Amino acid sequence: MIKGALFDLDGVIADTSVYHFQAWRDLVAKHFNATLPDDLEAKTKGVSRGDSLRVILDYLGETVDQVTFEALADEKNTAYIKLLDDLRPANILPGITDFIANLKAQNIKLALASASLNGPYILEKLALSDAFDAVANPAEVTSGKPAPDIFIAAAQALNLEPQDCIGVEDAIAGVTAINASGAFSVAVGDASDLSHAKLHFPSTAELNLATIQKAFEVAR
């Protein structure tokens, strides 16, 4: 039986990834007088702020010292939080509210396993803080996604083994991290990018707990 559900945030609970990339674009335009192509967003999705900045600097062919690196990351985060100011429960992605309610009805514990340091703030804006039993702190794990650390930490925060949990993701790096942790990976989004997931749904609106439970039991 499934005992825990480990959730990514951006693109799974709410589509905040668009705000991330808008903040990066504004930063790059200001400091490097450059633009970022749409297809670069996928490489910054689901990974830490620092890793995202490394991807962007690599694309730009730029190098900066550590002090500048940290200043750029902090400036981006400030801009991102400002963009989130109007975030409301109405911004929760389709199907997620019902899916969470179904998990809670089955006494399945919930933990957030997001690379975002702003996870607690976003849950609060979405009025979902009380729905989650734990929030893994990405600042306390050794390696970010695609390493499994954040999902292992999320399971541990629930006093569970990853093997007793499902992980829900929309990013390539995130699904890889779930698989490496030993949890059962459930992906939402573009199937061509997420074919390594154990189970796939085209969108959050189609998440179905009964289907997941059946696939989880077969896999175990």
Active-site residue numbers?
Answer: 8, 10
Distance between CA atoms of residues 175 and 183, nearest Å: 10
Q: Residue 47 — φ and ψ, nearest 5°? A: -115, 170
Other C-beta atoms within 10 Å of 30: how many?
Answer: 12
Distance between CA atoms of residues 41 and 20, nearest Å: 9
Q: Is 52 annotated as a binding residue?
A: yes
Q: Is 27 annotated as a binding residue?
A: no
Q: Is 58 annotated as a binding residue?
A: no
**What's CA 23's distance to the chain center, in Å?**
17
CB 160 within 8 A of CB 109: yes
Distance between CA atoms of residues 19 and 44, nearest Å: 12
Q: Is 115 annotated as a binding residue?
A: yes
Residue found by looking up tokens 């979405």 in the block: 126
Q: Is 117 annotated as a binding residue?
A: yes
Q: Is 10 annotated as a binding residue?
A: yes
**What's CA 170's distance to the chain center, in Å?**
7
Q: Is 114 annotated as a binding residue?
A: yes
Q: What contacts 47, CB < 8 A, 6 or more positions away?
A: 55, 115, 144, 145, 171, 173
Q: Is 24 annotated as a binding residue?
A: yes
Q: Is 145 annotated as a binding residue?
A: yes
Distance between CA atoms of residues 133 and 65, nearest Å: 39
Distance between CA atoms of residues 46 and 29, nearest Å: 22
Q: Is 8 annotated as a binding residue?
A: yes
User: Annotated binding site for Mg(2+), which residues?
Assistant: 8, 10, 169-170
| Binding-site sequence positions for substrate | 8-10, 24, 52, 76, 114-118, 145
Per the annotation, where are the binding residues?
8-10, 24, 52, 76, 114-118, 145, 169-170
